[in-house]
């Protein structure tokens, strides 16, 4: 007897994250894992559920030479442990959906053409997302492929928030603010609606803080402003990405230092952020334990930019009812949360240090005018739910 499941895939430049969900009812995760260092020294890590041992091993180069072979390795593992599972739909995280896609889409040939056209808008993400879709199409030729876009949650922004002060023709060409991490924000917003509907209906800033970092202002469950813009490079400093920077820096690097555009792109995307500022690591855990000035300065800048953006987003929302932390740093770093929140009573935030140290869900005091919360994000369940929904719609058509 077969078991209906969906496979969710999140393809990065050198990694492939996957989850397997039982979709006979509300999606329930059966397995989760990733293949990292694809094409170099690949390694598989997987949690196959409570009844099965955790799988972790180095892979031969041929087992993960590219995304296609990495997916084949993952499927062999899943078939071994879940022989009854049959993937009738595969859900994909796709970073950029452009101005056209404001909700998950079934992947058709025209959709794939549009995703490829958008690759210059997200050069370090989109090509690998596409490679993941193509690998899944080859592995599951009869399955429905569903693309879920990180930009979709932000597609209802007021126009003045999406525009740059460039000649209008560039807006028409698609040069505008898109915002990213939308799957994470959609999950957090949905959780707020479930556990605190009065906050969901109000003015919320969500801080998705991790190796990729951004913040989003949400009003009545809808995104109205985001720190990320045209690409996933803008806004907050990240693990290796610079965040907001004066475009004149690019002119200087090209004209005065003689760098190529590809060299500048590499600096901005791969050698900046916490790594570039500290000269040590892009991992906040390493920086917090490193007692050296450069590490302190990198953390200070990270916190400063978050506090500055928080003020701007609160202004865009007309006030603040809640601040929610998510992402690897937001969910786990008590020190960063404390440094962000301390002294922000003027905006209505009063952090309870004991609750924060305990990693409680609500970490504000009883007297705080705005709630401070920690909600672990789950992008995969958002993808699984969308995949099931589109599968049902396809079957009903």
Question: Mind telling me the catalytic residues?
Answer: 150
Q: From the CB of residue 189, how many other CB atoms can be counted at a distance below 10 Å?
A: 22
Q: How far is residue 144 from each of residues 33, 105, 106, 308, 393, measured CA to CA in Å?
A: 22, 10, 7, 43, 11
Q: 31: helix, coil or strand?
A: strand
Place of tokens 């990213």: 180
Neighbours of 351 (CB within 10 A): 22
Give whole-number Cα distances, 200 to 189, 221, 346, 351, in Å. 7, 6, 22, 20
Give 283's DSSP letter: -
Torsion on CA atoms 164, 274, 317, 204, rounded to nearest 10: 140
Three-class HEC string of 170-214:
HHHCCCCCCCCCHHHHHHHHHHHHHHCHHHHCCEEEEEECCCCCE
Element (DSSP H or E) covering residue 1: none
- Given a contact cutoff of 8 angstroms between Cβ atoms, the answer to whether 146 and 7 are in contact is no
Quick one: tokens of 24? 């006979």
How many other C-beta atoms can be found within 10 angstroms of the C-beta atom of residue 276?
18
Name the pairing type of β-strands 222-226 and 371-374: unpaired
Beta bridge partners of 32: 19, 47
Give the separation between CA 324 and CA 216, rounded to whole angstroms.
Answer: 10
Please tell me what DSSP assigns to residue 152: G
Q: Whose CA is closest to 70, among 31, 149, 12, 146?
A: 12
């Amino acid at each position: 007897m077969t078991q209906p499941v969906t496979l969710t895939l999140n393809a990065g430049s050198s990694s492939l994250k996957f989850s397997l969900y039982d979709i006979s009812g509300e999606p329930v995760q059966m397995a989760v894992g990733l293949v990292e260092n694809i094409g170099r020294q690949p390694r598989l890590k997987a949690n196959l559920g409570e009844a099965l041992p955790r799988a972790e091993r180095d892979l031969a180069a041929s087992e993960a030479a590219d995304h296609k072979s990495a997916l084949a390795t993952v499927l062999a593992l899943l078939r071994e442990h879940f022989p009854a599972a049959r993937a009738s739909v595969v859900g994909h995280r796709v970073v950029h959906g452009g101005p056209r896609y404001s909700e998950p889409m079934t992947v058709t040939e025209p959709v794939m053409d549009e995703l490829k056209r958008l690759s210059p808008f997200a050069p370090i993400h989109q090509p690998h997302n596409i490679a993941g879709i193509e690998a899944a199409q080859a592995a599951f030729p009869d399955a429905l492929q569903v693309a879920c876009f990180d930009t979709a949650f932000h597609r209802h922004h007021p126009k003045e928030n999406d525009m740059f002060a460039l000649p209008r023709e560039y807006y028409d060409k698609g040069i505008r603010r898109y915002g990213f991490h939308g799957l994470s924000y959609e999950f957090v917003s949905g959780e707020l609606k479930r556990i605190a509907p009065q906050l969901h209906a109000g003015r919320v800033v969500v801080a998705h803080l991790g190796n990729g970092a951004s913040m989003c202002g949400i009003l009545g469950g809808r995104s109205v402003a985001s720190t990320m813009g045209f690409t996933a490079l803008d806004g907050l400093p990240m693990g290796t990405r610079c965040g907001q920077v004066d475009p004149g820096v690019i002119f200087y690097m090209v004209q005065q230092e003689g760098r190529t555009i590809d060299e500048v792109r590499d600096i901005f995307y791969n050698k900046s952020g916490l790594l570039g500022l500290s000269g040590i690591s892009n991992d906040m855990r390493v920086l917090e334990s490193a007692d050296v000035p450069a590490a302190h300065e990198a953390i200070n800048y990270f916190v400063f930019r978050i506090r500055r953006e928080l003020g701007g987003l609160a202004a865009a929302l007309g006030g603040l009812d809640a601040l929610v932390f998510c992402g690897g740093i937001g969910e786990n770093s008590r020190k960063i949360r404390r440094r962000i929140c301390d002294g922000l009573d003027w905006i209505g935030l009063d952090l309870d240090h004991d609750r924060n140290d305990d990693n409680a869900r609500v970490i504000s005091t009883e007297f705080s005018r705005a709630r401070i919360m920690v909600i672990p994000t789950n992008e995969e369940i958002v993808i699984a739910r969308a995949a099931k929904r589109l599968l049902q719609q396809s079957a009903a058509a």
